Amino acid sequence: MGVSEFTASKPRRSYGQYCALAYGMDVIGERWTMLLVRELLLGPKRYKDLLASLHGIGTNLLAARLRELEALGVVERGILPPPAGSPVYQLTEAGQGLEPVCMAIGRWGARFLGSPRLADELVPSAYFVAMRASFRAEVAGELSETYEFRIGNRVFEVRVQDGRCFTSEGRATRPDVVMTMDAETLTAVLFQVLSPDEARASGRVSLQGDPAALARFASIFALRGHPFVEFEEGKSGLLQN
């Protein structure tokens, strides 16, 4: 997008400075925008799915953010392949370019996490985006394994292959293991407050496939002790039930 095109399509509120940072913040600085990008990093989404995963945004504000991002070439509309055929929103190439920005903000913001506040919602999609940054390639080694996670009414795929990881929302293609749990359990396992064995023994995880897969997953993606999260010992507050 050229300068004149961008200027013509800038959001109503602007810093009014001819500066790349200022122009970038004109695009992503509005409330909810980067969380909307976070959701779309996991794949195309229907409007109602975005509304359901961004609690508190409100339908009018979501519609406004999508219009703005579409006008700026960050988001575009698409159609899911048959049999669904549903209209969806998805990131353009420019929108996909925000992934490292999301990761950088997440790394910086992790120092403020502390314990979840009572009003904080545990959003599963946030973890499946964060996994791209917390992935430990040195632990994964030559492992090739696909996990399907069923968290409430949402389904996610995590694929480890060739020393890389891929995450998306939706059913996994030929998963090696399917794990069902709630968001609180996923959080506790990732922060190593709850061990994989304890999660299985307590019935908090239902697993179809290799029982050892959860332990492998936890060791590869654990957030505790990872530079992605500055974990304060003794203040997790993640597992009390």
pLDDT 10s per residue in the chain (241 long)? 444 454 444 546 789 999 999 999 999 999 999 999 999 999 999 999 999 999 999 999 999 999 999 999 999 999 988 887 889 999 999 999 999 999 999 989 888 887 778 888 899 999 999 999 999 999 999 999 999 999 999 999 999 999 999 999 999 999 999 999 999 999 999 998 999 999 999 999 999 999 999 999 999 999 865 544 444 444 444 444 4
Tokens read off for 84: 């669904």
Is 89:75 a contact under the CB 8 Å cutoff?
yes
| Location of each CATH 1.10.10.10 domain in the chain | 3-97
Output DSSP code: residue 16. -
| Location of each CATH 3.30.1050.10 domain in the chain | 116-221
pTM over 0.75: yes
Whole-number pLDDT of residue 237: 42
Whole-number pLDDT of residue 156: 98
Whole-number pLDDT of residue 12: 60
Whole-number pLDDT of residue 28: 94
* Angle subtended at Cα 59 by Cα 56 and Cα 61, rounded to the nearest 5 degrees: 80
Non-local CB neighbours of 229 within 8 Å, separated by 6+ positions = 110, 113, 134, 191, 223
Structurally, at CATH architecture level, domain 116-221 sits in 2-Layer Sandwich (3.30)
Backbone angles phi, psi at 88, to 5 degrees: -140, 165
CATH class of the structural domain 3-97: mainly alpha
**Distances in whole angstroms, Cα of residue 136 to Cα of each of 19, 55, 163, 180:** 36, 31, 9, 23
Whole-number pLDDT of residue 4: 44
Is 40:95 a contact under the CB 8 Å cutoff?
yes
